[in-house]
Amino acid sequence: MMKFSAITPFRLVRSLGVAGARNPAIYLLICEGPAAATVEADLLAETAVQLGGSIHVNTASQVLRDGLPGWQDGSTRLIYFDAWLPDLVAALDRHSAALVQDGGQLLLLADEKSAERLLSTAPNLRSRLTDVFQIVPDDLSGGLPA
């Protein structure tokens, strides 16, 4: 089992905010299935409240089918790995340098198994990750993750 630091959507969005909208960043966020929907909702809400913006959300399957549109507005995108898609991961790896070159911020949300496979099979992408976190839903008191 991988042991990455825990973070909540509140604290992650705070980091994104301080880095600035034009500061490119790629985060790998590890979250097991049932909590992923809550985390996604929390991220959207925190982004709206803290940054006054929104997150463009796609599943990995959608990105594989339709491609990842370029974005120049410094906004945040989230790709949720709804399945392990080696072709998509290979493409993200080879294009890792271009993923956020225009200042966007990319969040990759995956379960532990997919995250571990991504880290071990996509060395270019791994090298460009800003950080890797176990992300857990915010508790209502806004306290630290357990």
Partner 1 sequence: MALVGGIGSGKTTELLLTMDRLRRHDDAVNVFLEASEFTDFSETNPGAMLAAIGLRLCARIGKLFGEPSEQVRSASDKLRKLALGTTEWHGEPPDSEEWDGMYAVRVPGLMKPRFPELKERVAEVKDLLETVLSRFLERDSQITVLVDGLDRLIEPARFREFAEQDLRALRGTKVTMIVAAPLLLWYDHSRFLDDYFDVVKHIPVAAVDPKESRFLKDILKRRGADELMSAASINDICRFSGGVLRDLLELAQSAAQDAYRGTEDRISKQHVREAVRQLGNRYLAGVGTTRRTIIRRLLRDEQFSPSSPVSRDLLVNRQVLEYSKGGRDYFRVHPALVEVLPEPA
Residues that bind partner 1 in the complex, under the rule CB under 8 A: 2-5, 7, 11, 14-15, 18-19, 91, 93-98, 115-117, 119-121, 123-124, 126-132
Query: Toward partner 1, which CB reaches closer, 57 or 103?
Result: 103
CB of 62 to partner 1, least distance (A): 18
Q: Specify whether the CB–CB gap between 105 and 73 falls below 8 A.
A: no
Nearer to partner 1, 4 or 71 (CB): 4
Of residues 49 and 98, the one with the C-beta less far from partner 1? 98
| Residue nearer to partner 1 on the CB measure, 44 or 91 | 91
Name the nearest CA neighbour of 6 among 25, 27, 26, 29.
Answer: 29
| Least separation in angstroms between CB 4 and partner 1 | 6
CB of 80 to partner 1, least distance (A): 19
Residue 107 beta carbon to partner 1: minimum distance, rounded to whole angstroms: 15
Instruction: Give alpha helix (H) positions in the chain.
Output: 9-19, 33-46, 60-66, 86-94, 96-99, 112-121, 123-128
Give the number of other CB atoms < 10 A from CB of residue 21. 15
Nearer to partner 1, 57 or 61 (CB): 61
Minimum separation from the CB atom of position 28 to partner 1 (A): 9
Integer Cα distance of 62 and 80 in angstroms: 10
Contacts of 119 (CB under 8 A, 6+ apart): 28, 126, 132
d(CA 67, CA 96): 14
